[in-house]
C-alpha cells in the first residue's frame, strides 16, 4: 500500500483486500500527514526556534500525533505519517 500512496502522491488509493480497517487507518494517517506536512520543514529546531542544520525528524519522534497515547490496536497507523515526513526530509536533503 505504501508504494501505491507514494506513486499516487496521495492517500486516495485502493484498500488492501481483507485488510479494510488497517488500510483505512493507513490511508487516514497518510492523508493527515500530507495535509500537515505540505510545504513544511522537517528539520529539528533549537529552543529559540532556529533550525538545526542537517538534523531531521520523521515518524513518531517528530512529535504531535501520538504525544499522549499510541493506538496499539491499529497496527500500521503511524506508517503514513512516517512515510510522508521521511519523504519531505529526503527531498530537503536532496536539495543540499
Nine-digit cell at 45? 529546531
C-alpha closest to that of 77 among 57, 64, 60:
60
How far apart are alpha carbons 54 and 14 in whole angstroms?
Answer: 35
With residue 53 as reference, give the H or E element that holds it: strand 51-56
What pLDDT does 84 receive? 77
**What is the pLDDT averaged over residues 54-59?**
76
Domain count, the chain: 1
Cβ atoms of 27 and 13 within 8 Å: the answer is yes
pLDDT above 80 (res 39): no
What pLDDT does 30 receive? 79
Amino acid at each position: 500500500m505504501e508504494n501505491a500512496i507514494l506513486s499516487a502522491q496521495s492517500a486516495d488509493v485502493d484498500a488492501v483486500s481483507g485488510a479494510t480497517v488497517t488500510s483505512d487507518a493507513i490511508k487516514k494517517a497518510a492523508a493527515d500527514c500530507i495535509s500537515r506536512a505540505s510545504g513544511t520543514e522537517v528539520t529539528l529546531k533549537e529552543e529559540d526556534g532556529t533550525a538545526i542544520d542537517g538534523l531531521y525528524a520523521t515518524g513518531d519522534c517528530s512529535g504531535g500525533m501520538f504525544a499522549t497515547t499510541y493506538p496499539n490496536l491499529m497496527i500500521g497507523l503511524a506508517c503514513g505519517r512516517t512515510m510522508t515526513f521521511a519523504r519531505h526530509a529526503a527531498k530537503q536533503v536532496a536539495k543540499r
